[in-house]
Structure 1
Amino acid sequence: MPALRTLTFVTGNAKKLEEVCSILQGVVNVVSHTVDLTEIQGTAEEVAKDKCRRAAEALNGPCIVEDTGLIFNAMGHLPGPYIKWFMESLGHDGLNRMLVGFGDKSATATCTFALSNGPGTEPIIFEGRTLGEIVQARGPKVFGWDAVFQPQGHDQTYAEMPKELKNTLSHRSKALALLLQYLKDEDNMAH
């Protein structure tokens, strides 16, 4: 049996790391590294590419980074990639209050992974999206905005779902599926 490919995931978020490791278990060996990176303002793709370039320089090697967003369709794509700051400032109830005046509670969860093959290389982007809606917080409030996002076609929020189910339909799992397909097709990463 060939050795698993190893990817360095640059993140300081233990919950993201746990989820990525769970999704990639048995397929890719994930090692984490924390690099203090100031995030630029821009689209999710611009933020992910910039973080990935700087992380590859800091590590002097290949890596992946991730940027997550939550788009409220009624608000013209806000909070988008700034959801972390909205969540920290407003909490779950505040996210709901943002949509009080709108009939449209639909939302799109986005996950953008960027892969760099090392310093000086252009990062490659992989984006996953899951459609859903913003609901009153239900389930454990331990992982970002999971308690207020209910995926389309389901009657549970991400927070209420068993991890195994969430990891088959989440925006993160969709982005990672694209990344894995790229690695399989191109075999661009060193073992």
Structure 2
Amino acid sequence: MSQQQEIIFVTGNANKLKEVQQILKDAPCTLTNVALDLDELQGSSLEAVATAKLKQAVVQAGSGKAIFVEDTALSFTAFNGLPGAYIKWFVQSMGLAKIVQMLDAFEDKSAQAITTIAYADAEGQTHVFKGITDGTIVASRGPTDFGWDSIFEPYDSHGKTYAEMDKPSKNKISHRGKAFEAFKSFLQN
């Protein structure tokens, strides 16, 4: 795909939109945004959650358009992957301090940050891209205005949480950055 194509990103999260725009700034596409009210499939398969949201988005936006959704999870090793895709609801319901406290009884504070992108091209073919970053859950450090960034410290962040990192540094190592680099590579080829 060498020519510029318009791709719709379905999100109502302004911070996520800014981050994705930065990551895809040199991709061969024009990114537009629409916030659609999509039902959130409940399940532990991140791919199933993302593709279910994508199918709804295609119906609402109309066929023949390139469109994608992105779903992010935070999976604790001590909890066999939970809260996973439910992390957004945990943050809204409990707050960051209580999420950190959930691991107090466990020695293992390791976690994985995971982004799954489900993309439908203009012909309706579905493609899935995933990015994973390993790290640990820590007491909140840095700004708390972007989800759980202040409690996740990637192993390769030189001791900083996502919230303490500048955006370009974060995007190089983050789960979202990795998933969108794979997506961008797909678009370029």
With structure 1 as the length reference, what TM-score do the two structures score? 0.91
Residue 53 of structure 1 contacts residue 123 of structure 1 at CA under 8 Å; is this kept in 2?
Answer: no
Partner SS state of residue 112, structure 1: strand
Aligned equivalents of 1:19, 1:153: Cα separation in 2: 19
Shift of 1:182: 1.5
Structure 2 CA distance, aligned partners of 1:100 and 1:21? 36
- Larger mean CA deviation between 2-11 and 19-28 belongs to 2-11
Q: Does 2:169 correspond to 1:135?
A: no
Distance 1:46 1:122, change over 3 A: farther
Q: Which runs of 5+ in 1 are unaligned?
A: 186-191
Matched residues, number: 183
Indicate whether 1:109 and 2:113 are aligned: yes
Q: Per the alignment, do residues 4 and 122 of structure 1 end up closer, same or farther by CA in structure 2, a change over 3 Å counting?
A: closer
Query: By how many angstroms is 1:57 displaced?
Result: 1.3
Q: Following TM superposition, by how much is the alpha carbon of 1:62 offset from its aligned partner in structure 2, in angstroms?
A: 2.1
Structure 2 CA distance, aligned partners of 1:170 and 1:153? 10
Residues 2-41 of structure 1: pairs in structure 2 closer than 5 A: 4-27=4-27, 28-41=29-42
The whole-number CA distance in structure 1 between the counterparts of 2:141 and 2:156 is 17
1:51-130 to structure 2, matched below 5 A, reads: 51-60=53-62, 61-118=65-122, 121-130=124-133
Deviation, structure 1 residue 3: 5.7
Query: What corresponds to 1:188 in structure 2?
Result: none
SS in 2 for 1:132: strand
SS at match of 2:6: strand
Q: Counterparts of 1:103 and 1:153 in 2: how far apart (Å)?
A: 20
Q: Does 1:44 align with 2:43?
A: no
1:70–1:80 contact (8 Å) kept in structure 2:
yes
One-letter amino acid of the structure 2 residue matched with residue 169 of structure 1: I
Which structure 2 residue ranges, 5 or more long, are not aligned? none
Q: How many angstroms apart in 2 are the aligned matches of 1:117 and 1:26?
A: 19
**Superposition deviation, residue 150 in structure 1:** 0.3
Q: So what's the TM-score if we normalise by structure 2?
A: 0.92
CA contact (8 A) 2:91 2:99 kept: yes
Distance in 1 (CA, whole Å) between partners of 2:71 and 2:131 is 11
- 2:152 counterpart of 1:149: yes
Deviation at 1:5, TM superposition (A): 3.1
In 1, Cα distance between equivalents of 2:4 and 2:169: 24
- Given that residues 15 and 143 in structure 1 are in contact (C-alpha distance below 8 angstroms), is that contact kept between their aligned partners in structure 2? yes
Q: Percent identity?
A: 43
Quick one: distance in 2 between partners of 1:169 and 1:5? 27
Q: 1:189: which partner in 2?
A: none
Assess if the C-alpha contact under 8 Å between 1:116 and 1:122 holds in 2: yes
Q: Provide the alpha-carbon RMSD of the alignment.
A: 1.4
Distance 1:66 1:48 in 2: 7
